Structure formats: structure tokens, C-alpha cells
Amino acid sequence: MTAVAAPAASVTPAPAPGRALTALAVRQVRRGALTVTGICAGMSALVVSMYESQALDPAALAALARNPAIRTLFGEPVALGDPGGFAVWRTGVVLSVLLAVWSFLAATRITRGEEDAGRWGLLLSGRAALADAVRGHLGVVTVVPLVAGAATAAAMIAAGADVAGSVLHGTGLAAVGLFFVAAGGLAAQLFGDRSAANGAAAAVLVLGLLARMVGDGVPALSWVRWLSPFGLVALTRPFDTGRGLPLAVLVFAAAVLLALAVRLAARRDVGGSIVPAAGGRPARTALLGSVPAFAVRRTLRPLAGWAAGVGAYFLLIGLVARSMADFLAANPQFTAMAAQAGFTLGTVEGYAATLFALLAVPVGVFVAGRVGALAADEAARRLTLPLAAPVTRTRLLAADVAAATGAALVLVSVAGAAMWAGSALVGAGLGLGDALAGTWNVVPVVLLCLGAAVLALGWAPRAVAAAGAVPAVGGFLWLVVADSVGAPAWVGDVSPFAHLAAVPVTGPDWPAAAVMTGLAAAGVAAGLAGYRRRDLTT
């Protein structure tokens, strides 16, 4: 009976609610924060330190800088003769997209996600108001891009890059991250569930990327870059003229969005949203008749969003195909340089093959996300009722895996068709069959993502989405670094991207495809075994 022993003085003074909120938020983001910071700083420093001066004459550089296709794809090449400038061109877009994606996902996860899960009801019954909680949590997430940017700048300086340029590039990365924390935080106030908030933030990201590509590629529309976070960062031209104004605009926009998010949080209820939740509506009973049908139903909406984004991107890529191929044919030294950087360009097919490989990244992330959604449904106990019906776990998982696979095939087909349509519009002469062959060529890498995600679902259900993204995102970054630093071939070969043949230039690498598919099947089998054995969260 220890409880009655000390009736007085047993209430410890509670810390300020702000401090407790901060601690809670820090716990939820620290692991991801370390990962993105490590990747940003590590990749940038590696590319700087392994840089070998490319013998490019100024006239050729000028031609490269003018070429719309190069600019559309990789951003405007600025200061390639400088180790820092080369690192920015080679890794800047990739890292800013990575940081942006992490930033909005983290922002929505620890705000709307926690609120969705009902965990904020308890939190906010204490002394903290909703706006305080939103401000505190977003405040913690905003620190992460700042740290990642600072670490990147410091790492580049340590690797020997110019100080001013490194600082500007690091600041640019931080500003993009900050903007997407704000965008995610704002979306989390506007929409009543996390997937809608993520969808809105992802739409901003894709539109921002497309605007940057158009603005970089079409001189008449270069002002569009002022409307895109990625465009603003490109306008800063680190290691070159180094402008600060675009960054000021971006940081200001982020601050406005953050302030707006907190203001809106103060105007809504816990669990509510600014955009009112749909009221009553007639039942839509299509695709509810069986477990596989229901899996398809849950996949359709995300598929539509991803198909729009991926389709728009590849349409644009198709539209610049001609100009790109012409340029490369006229400037063979770039073809050689691109080959050194891991690209086989030179013809429309070669250019298309290079870009099709990129497709594995979004589609791989998409399938990882689908398995992640199943894990999230389980964690939220939504699977309890379906699993209390005569539905085995195997059947449930098989239905979701099949739906995700089918959706991935749709996505790669959409990408192929969009690329074909774009190139047909400019008369670049890429055949539809070739385009589809090229996009279907990435399917083994996508399956690897699926295998990794299912493996995690069986044995580490909290890490599903992250594990599933490793073959695509990790493999891609790995190969970029390996190529950029001239690592021995076996290092690059660890990445699945090293085993993608340049379809449609050549035929598919069937043995490699078989190995990847086999590994994926093994992952699915092992994951299923774990999923059948373990306790479900119910």
C-alpha cells in the first residue's frame, strides 16, 4: 500500500506545456532528421571531394548552359568548373526534393497524423491549446532543414568547396525544407486527414518541380521560377553570381505559410479541419464486394494522384526530347561527359532510356507507400473488423500486394505513354512500343521495393514505408554518389539501378531482371511468413 504513504507533496510540478510538447515532437522526428541530414551533408561533401576538373572548353560550357533540355532536366548548369558548383548541379535537385519530401511528410505525420490517431485529445486536454501544439510541433520540424542545410554547407567547406557558395547552397536547401515544412503544416490544418494533407503538399512539390523545369528550359518563361521553391533556389546560383534575393523570397513565403498554419489551427477544433469534412452522401458501393475489390478501391485515389504527377513529368521530358537529342548529337564531348556521370545519351532513345530509369524512384516509393498504408491501417486498428471476418491474413496481404503491383504497372504505362505523347508532339520520333518497353524495364526495381516493404511488414511493421523506399531512393542515391566520385564498379553494382539495361537502346537485361524479381519474391515470401506469425495490432 505504497500509494497512501505520502499523501502530500507527491504532485511533481509539471514542466511548462511548451517544453513537454517540444520533447514529444523531437522524439518523433529525430531518427529521420539524422538520416536526411547525413544524406545531404554526406553526398554533397563526397561529390565535392572526389571532383576532378573536367577539361571543358568555355564555348562548350556555354552551349551546355544554353541548352533547354539540359536545363529542364538537371537545372541550369552553373559553375561546373568549380567542385562546389559541380556538386550543386549533380546533387542539388535530388537533395532538395529529398529534403522537401521528408519535411512535409514529417510535418503532417506529427501533427495531423497524431491528431487523426486520437493522440492529441489527451495532449490537448492539458494546458496546451491546439495552436500551441501545432506551433510547437512545426517549430521542431523546421529545425531539421536548418540543421541539414548547415551540415551540408559545413561538409562542403570541409571537403574544400568555396565558403560563400557552400553557405548559399546550404541555405537554399534549408529554405526549401522550411517551405515544405510550412506547406505540410498548412495542409494539415486545411484537410481532415493525413493522406489528403500529404496529397496536397505533394501536389505543391510536383507543381514546383514542373515550374522549375519549364522556367529553366524555356527562356521566355524563366520568370516562372520565381513561383517555385525549386526555381527560387536555382536562381540563387551558388558558386557563381550568388544572389540572395530569391532565398529571401522563399524564406518569407515559408514564414507566411507557417504563420497561416498556426492562425488556422487556432480557428478549428481538435480533429476538425478548415476545409469542412464532407457531410452526408449516398453510399458508393462499387468495389466493396470482396477483399481484392476493396484493395483496388483503396488504391485508386492515390494512384490517380501519382499518375497525374508522373504523367506530367514525363510529358515534359518528352517535350524536350528532341532538343536534348539534337544538342547531344552536336556536342559529343557532353555525351562522353554524361557517360562518365552514368548517362548514356546521344539519341532520343538513349536520352529516354536514361530518364526512364528515374521512373523507378517514384513508382518504387508509391508501392512502398501502398504497403505502408496497410501497416498504417493496422496500426490504426482499422483492419480489426475485416480480419474478424472469414479473411485470412494471407488473403488480405495478397490482395494489397496485387493491387499495388497492378497500380505500379498502370503508373509505368502512364509514364511511357506520356513520354511518347510529349515526344510525338515535338516530332522526336520515339515509338510508343519503345517508350512502354523503357518504362516497363524498371518494374524489377519496383518489385524490389515491394519485396522490401512486405518483408518489413512481416518483421518490422513500423519501418514499412522506409524499408520499401530503400531499393529505389537508397539505390538511386547510392549510384549517383558512386558515379560522381568514380567509385570502383562493384560499389555501384550494389545499387539495383546499375542493373537496369538502357531500354529502348538495348534489350532488357533479363538475367538481372530475373534476379531482382527473385529477390523481391523472396522478400514477399519471408514477409508473409512473418506477417502470418506475428500478433496484429488490433
Partner 1 sequence: MGVAALCTENLSKRYGRLLALDDLTLDVAPGEVFGFLGPNGAGKSTTIRLLLGLARPTSGRAWVFGGDAADVAAAHRRLAYVPADVALWPRMTGAEVLDLLGRIGPGVDTVYRDELVERFALDLAKPAGTYSTGNRQKVALVAAFATRAPLLVLDEPTSGLDPLMELEFRRAVAAARDNGQTVFLSSHQLAEVEAVCDRVGILSAGRLVEVASVAQLRRLHRTEVAATFTGAPPDLTGVPGVDGLHSNGAAAVRFTLNGPPAAALRALADAGVATIAVREPSLEEIFLAYYGQDAR
Q: Which residues are at the interface with partner 1 (CB under 8 A)? A: 116, 192-193, 277-285, 288-291, 294, 298, 377, 380-382, 384-393, 395, 533-536, 538
Nearer Cβ to partner 1 (62/385): 385
Nearer Cβ to partner 1 (288/425): 288
Q: How far is the CB of 196 from partner 1 (least distance, A)?
A: 9
Q: How far is the CB of 1 from partner 1 (least distance, A)?
A: 9
What type of residue sits at position 41? Answer: A
- Asked if residues 396 and 383 have their Cβ atoms less than 8 Å apart, the reply is yes
Burial 341-370 (b: 16+ CB within 10 A, else e): bbbbbbbbbbbbbbbbbbbbbbbbbbbbbb
User: How distant is the alpha carbon of residue 435 from its chain centre?
Assistant: 24
Q: What is the DSSP string of 83-109?
A: HHHHHHHHHHHHHHHHHHHHHHHHHHI
Q: How far is the CB of 267 from partner 1 (least distance, A)?
A: 19
Nearer Cβ to partner 1 (135/194): 194
Q: How far is the CB of 269 from partner 1 (least distance, A)?
A: 12
Q: How far is the CB of 374 from partner 1 (least distance, A)?
A: 12
Nearer Cβ to partner 1 (34/536): 536
Q: Give how far Cα 188 sits from Cα of 113, 137, 194, 465, Å.
A: 9, 12, 7, 20
Nearer Cβ to partner 1 (57/535): 535
Angle at 466 between CA 455 and CA 405, to 5 degrees: 60
Q: How far is the CB of 379 from partner 1 (least distance, A)?
A: 10
Q: How far is the CB of 116 from partner 1 (least distance, A)?
A: 8
- Asked if residues 240 and 85 have their Cβ atoms less than 8 Å apart, the reply is yes
273 in the Ramachandran plot: left (φ > 0), alpha (ψ -120 to 50) or beta?
beta
User: Which residues make Cβ contacts (< 8 Å) with residue 220, sequence separation at least 6?
Assistant: none
Q: How far is the CB of 403 from partner 1 (least distance, A)?
A: 15
Nearer Cβ to partner 1 (158/288): 288
Q: How far is the CB of 143 from partner 1 (least distance, A)?
A: 31
Q: How far is the CB of 199 from partner 1 (least distance, A)?
A: 12
- Asked if residues 243 and 171 have their Cβ atoms less than 8 Å apart, the reply is no
Nearer Cβ to partner 1 (290/506): 290
Radius of gyration in angstroms for the set of CA atoms belonging to the chain, rounded to a whole number: 24
Nearer Cβ to partner 1 (13/280): 280
Rounded Cα distance between 238 and 86, Å, is 10
Nearer Cβ to partner 1 (383/404): 383
Nearer Cβ to partner 1 (31/281): 281
Nearer Cβ to partner 1 (241/392): 392
- Asked if residues 355 and 458 have their Cβ atoms less than 8 Å apart, the reply is no
The 3-class secondary structure across 245-277, one letter per residue, is: HHHHHHHHHHHHHHHHHHHHHHCCCCCCCCCCC
Q: How far is the CB of 164 from partner 1 (least distance, A)?
A: 49
Rounded Cα distance between 153 and 127, Å, is 40
Rounded Cα distance between 479 and 477, Å, is 5
Rounded Cα distance between 261 and 259, Å, is 5
Residue bearing cell 512473418: 530
